Amino acid sequence: MRRAVAAAVCLACVAWPSRAEIKVKILPDGSKMLYNEPGRGRNVSRSAVPAVLPGGTTYHELADRSAARHELDPLLVSAVIGVESAWNAEAVSIKGAIGLMQLMPETAKILQVDPWDPEGNVEGGSRYLRSLLDRFDGDLELALAGYNAGPLAVERYGGIPPYPETVAYVERVLRRYFGRDVYTVEAASAPLRGRSVRMSRDGNGRLVLTTSSGY
């Protein structure tokens, strides 16, 4: 049975500081608390020279705005974009996923966005990620697994599907997001999932990350 860990990181709902490092503190009862230390820059990969739209808006600004609209951490959206396309709006995967957040044409159609339009792509991808977080009760690992393999696969396996690509994808995104060199996840085929990262909000509307044992 998972052992719940004490509440984690609390940050402004739409203005998560762009330079903050997540640290882990061991509390007297053995639980772990995540917190941010402002001014020390997390290791979230963003393109060195951000692309700029005709009006002067950068892709990074698109990510930040969409994250704010959908109550996501901008650094999470940035981490997903970094892994999905390395900030290349013209990227197309072997499977046909398009753009910055690698939307499948069918998904883009459901979301009613143009996947070739950077702004529409990031808006659609952020909205889709928000829907997955809601669907999986704030479980960030499951939401990311759903983003990669589809939510039905997550529900079918009752956890992260045991697909090497999906397991590696979740790990890569969370390594970028937390600025950690090592982050491992367990597929649903394991006897117990050793850890879960959840994203929620407190009574003041601040983002809160919590982890179960094993982080």
Please report which helix (H) or strand (E) contains residue 200, including its range. strand 197-201
The model's pTM: 0.71
Beta partners for 10?
A: 208
Paired tokens of 130: 């928000």
Domains of the chain: 60-125 (1.10.530.10)
Task: Identify the pLDDT of residue 179.
Answer: 80
Three-state DSSP at 13 gives: coil
Task: Provide the residue count of the chain.
Answer: 215
How far is the C-alpha of 180 from the C-alpha of 115, rounded, in Å?
Answer: 30
- d(Cα 99, Cα 117) in Å, to the nearest integer? 8
| Percent of all residues in the chain with a pLDDT value above 70, rounded to a whole number | 62
If you count DSSP H runs as helices and E runs as strands, how many of each does the chain have, helices first?
A: 7, 5
Q: pLDDT tens digit string along 119-163?
A: 999 999 999 999 999 999 999 999 999 999 999 999 999 999 999
Q: What is the pLDDT of residues 43-92, one digit of tens each?
A: 445 555 568 888 888 999 999 999 999 999 999 999 999 999 999 999 99
Assess whether 84 carries a catalytic annotation.
yes
Segment 180-185 shows an average pLDDT of 66
From the list 162, 122, 155, the residue with the least C-alpha distance to 136 is 155
Considering the candidates 71, 84, 90, 119, report the single residue annotated as catalytic: 84
Give the pLDDT band (50/70/90) at residue 187. Answer: confident
